[in-house]
Amino acid sequence: MQGLYLYNTLSRKKEEFNAINPPFVGLYVCGPTVYSDVHLGNCRTFISFDLIYRYLLHLGYKVRYVRNITDAGHLEGDRDEGDDKFAKKAKLEQLEPMEIVQKYTVGFRTIMQLFNTLPPSIEPTATGHISEQIEMIKEIMANGLAYEKNGNVYFDVEKYNTSYNYGLLTNRKLEELLEGTRELSGQDEKKGRLDFALWIKAKPETLMKWPSPWGWGFPGWHIECSAMSRKYLGDTFDIHGGGMDLQATHHTNEIAQSQACYHTAPVNYWMHTNMLTVNGVRMSKSAGNGFLPLELFTGNHPLLEKGYEPMAVKFFMLQTHYRSTLDFSNEALQASEKGFARLMDAYKTLQNLKASATSDEDIAALKNKCYEAMNDDFNTSVLIAQLFDAVRIINSANDNKLNLTQADIDLLKSIYQDFVFDVLGLKEEEGNQKLQAALNQVMTMVLNLRAKAKQDKNFQLSDDIRNQLIASGFQIKDSKDGSSWTL
Ligand code: AMP
Ligand code: ZN
């Protein structure tokens, strides 16, 4: 089997994945900022990285998956301005900032569970790692690449760029970046237009603050991820991910901080997921076009025609490759709902397929194509097309239009187990599972009654049962081993 190739934002091409210390892999993903509910766009990114985590595990890697919780230091403006989002929300909801953090962290985990994603190996919080962040800032200052002004500490981007390349991740020159940034005013403490805060001085009303060598304050958002990824994954680790919107500033600054601190590139492969959009506009908290997952599950939103099960929503997301944009619409969701039902129905049919002595299909080749799709930068879109080929084969075999051996049937079951359940992390909806179990029992009972009627030569009753089942949408297959059914 070929190796795994993934698109590295750093080199702007697909590269073969080589772990630093196989079979161990360090994977860091920027987690949610927990001052409000996650919207469906955020979920898309976390579901994409869950897929990447699951596939690496499936290939046999021992992955340490770190996904942080940003619970401090997020200001409203991109340029270290505005109120602290946590403090603002705490005031609005009349709660302690840590109550806000707890409320939205719990909500986030519940949603991730409904989407059947795996918990990360470590979920560090920014507030739990203040001393590590202070240590890192001290190191950057000792290396001459940060400066203090009135209790604030800033990263000196232009000085950094004399020895390193600040625009590495976006492939842009410093001059271009400077042109796109507004001039400093006389009141600015920063030396350069691109400088960003590592430590922010507390105002009298600031609630979340910590003592530091520069006085009471709180860390900048970017230093949080550098300190936490370094602590749990080391100075250089394998994969760092997040949404594309984090590439130009957050991740660019993370690289600069780490280089300035310990002079090595922190990450070998940078991976970025594309955005979920609504009518072509990026879904975001600030744009106010963010569906909450619970609104989607219940259908309780003016733009929604009905509610959708979490697995149908997840399937909708996975049908598009993680690097393509995905536009939300009722039609697309309804099509995915039908597609997902077809995939799961075929799985039920597969359980009752009767083997033939000969085979008309190359199932091993089909499974190989599933691996090829995933090895090609986690291409779930192609993978799902292969899975629908499996659905076609299963349904045709069930209609006696082609033959499958027992080995083929077992291989098809392994395709479902490996790709549908393990890698894509799909499952039958729990409500459906219960209904399915009840239906199985009732159908076994009805078919036994029909068999008994036949045995008693009551052919009128046995035909009636059969005809009524067919009229209700069931297919009944009689063979010498008994009767089976599909819906
Ligand atoms: P935040 O809580 O805003 O820091 O975002 C958490 C994650 O969701 C980050 O990796 C973002 O890049 C990602 N994200 C935000 N908006 C979207 C969107 N519309 N589509 C996909 N990912 C998004
Ligand atoms: Zn981050």
Query: Could you tell me if 417 and 369 are in contact, meaning their C-beta atoms sit under 8 angstroms apart?
Result: no
350-371 burial, b at 16+ Cβ within 10 Å, e below that, comes to: beebeebeebebebeebbebbb
Find the 367 Cα to ligand 1 centroid distance in Å: 33
Q: What is the 3-state secondary structure (H, E, C) of 427-449?
A: CCCHHHHHHHHHHHHHHHHHHHH
**Minimum-distance ligand to the CA of 44?**
1
Please say whether the beta carbons of 49 and 29 come within 8 A. Answer: yes
Q: Give me ligand 2 centre to Cα 65, in Å.
A: 14
Going by C-alpha positions, the residue among 48, 123, 69 that lies closest to residue 320 is 48
Angle between helices 380-398 and 330-351 (to 10 degrees): 50
CA of 416 to the centre of ligand 1 (A): 30
Query: Which amino acids bring their CB within 6 angstroms of ligand 1?
Result: 30, 32-33, 41-42, 44-45, 242-243, 245-246, 273, 275-276, 282-284
Q: Residue 220: nearest ligand to its CA?
A: 2
Single out the residue of 384, 378, 374, 370 nearest to residue 336, CA to CA.
384
Amino acid at 18: N
Distance 44 CA to ligand 1 centre (A): 8
DSSP bridge partners of 293? none
195-210 exposure pattern, b = at least 16 Cβ within 10 A, e = fewer: bbbbbbbbeeebebbb
Cβ within 8 Å of residue 362, ≥6 positions away: none
Q: Look up residue 439 and give its amino acid.
A: L
Distance from C-alpha of 357 to C-alpha of 406, rounded to nearest angstrom: 8
The distance of Cα 57 from the centroid of its chain, to the nearest Å, equals 15
Q: How many C-beta neighbours within 10 Å does residue 233 have?
A: 24
Using CA atoms, how far apart are residues 448 and 462, in angstroms rounded to an integer?
10
Amino acid at 160: Y
Provide the pLDDT for residue 273: 98
φ and ψ at 186, to 5 degrees?
-60, -25
For the CA of 245, the closest atom of ligand 1 is 12
**Residue 418 DSSP symbol:** I
- Give start and end residues of each alpha helix (H) in 273-379: 293-298, 310-318, 330-351, 363-375
Cα of 214 vs centre of ligand 1, distance in Å, is 32
CATH number for the region 277-423 comes to: 1.10.730
Protein residue with least CA distance to atom 7, ligand 1: 42
* Continuous segment of H or E residues that includes residue 86: helix 85-93
Model pLDDT, residue 362: 98
Give the C-alpha distances (Å, rounded to integers) separating 280 from 233, 240, 334: 37, 27, 19
Nearest CA to ligand 1 atom 18: 41
Q: Among 33, 36, 42, which residue has the most ligand 1 atoms within 8 Å of its CB, making it the best to mutate?
A: 42
Q: How much distance in Å is there from the Cα of 241 to the middle of ligand 2? A: 8
Three-state SS at 25:
strand
Quote the ligand 2 centre to 377 CA distance (angstroms): 22
Give the nearest ligand 1 atom to 31 CA: 6
Ligand nearest to the CA of 287: 1
Q: Enumerate the H helices of 40-81 as residue ranges.
A: 40-58
- Could you tell me where in the chain the CATH 1.10.730 domains are found? 277-423
Q: What is the pLDDT of residue 481?
A: 67
Query: Which atom of ligand 1 sits closest to the CA of residue 29?
Result: 10
Q: Going by CATH, does the domain composed of 17-273 fall within 3.40.50.620?
A: yes
**Range(s) of the chain covered by CATH 3.40.50.620:** 17-273
Cα 158 from Cα 365, distance rounded (Å): 54
Task: Report how far Cα 272 is from the mean position of its chain's Cα atoms.
Answer: 11
User: Ligand 1 atom closest to Cα of 274?
Assistant: 21
**Which ligand has the shortest distance to the CA of 226?**
2
**Minimum CA distance residue for ligand 1 atom 5:** 32
Ligand nearest the Cα of residue 45 is 1
The pLDDT of residue 448: 86
- Do the beta carbons of residue 268 and residue 239 sit within 8 Å? yes
List the chain pLDDT tens, one digit each, 487 residues: 569 999 999 999 999 999 999 999 999 999 999 988 999 999 999 999 999 999 999 999 999 999 999 998 777 766 777 778 888 888 888 888 899 999 999 999 999 999 999 999 999 999 999 999 999 999 999 999 999 999 999 999 999 999 999 999 999 999 999 998 888 877 789 999 999 999 999 998 888 999 999 999 999 999 999 999 999 999 999 999 999 999 999 999 999 999 999 999 999 999 999 999 998 999 987 787 888 999 999 888 888 888 899 999 999 999 999 999 999 999 999 999 999 999 999 999 999 999 999 999 999 999 999 999 999 999 999 999 999 999 999 999 999 999 999 999 999 999 999 999 999 999 987 666 566 667 777 887 888 899 899 999 999 999 999 888 888 888 888 877 677 777 7
Instruction: Give the pLDDT confidence score for residue 78 in this predicted structure.
Output: 67
- For residues 26, 29, 33, 34, the Cα torsion angle rounded to the nearest 10 degrees is -60
Among 105, 245, 273, 316, residue to substitute to test ligand 1 (most atoms within 8 Å of Cβ)? 245
Q: If you measure from the C-alpha of residue 272 to the centroid of ligand 1, how many angstroms do you get, rounded to a whole number?
A: 10
The rounded distance, in Å, linking the Cα atoms of 65 and 62 is: 9
Distance 46 CA to ligand 1 centre (A): 8
How many whole angstroms from 253 Cα to the centroid of ligand 2? 10
Ligand in closest contact with the CA of 229:
2
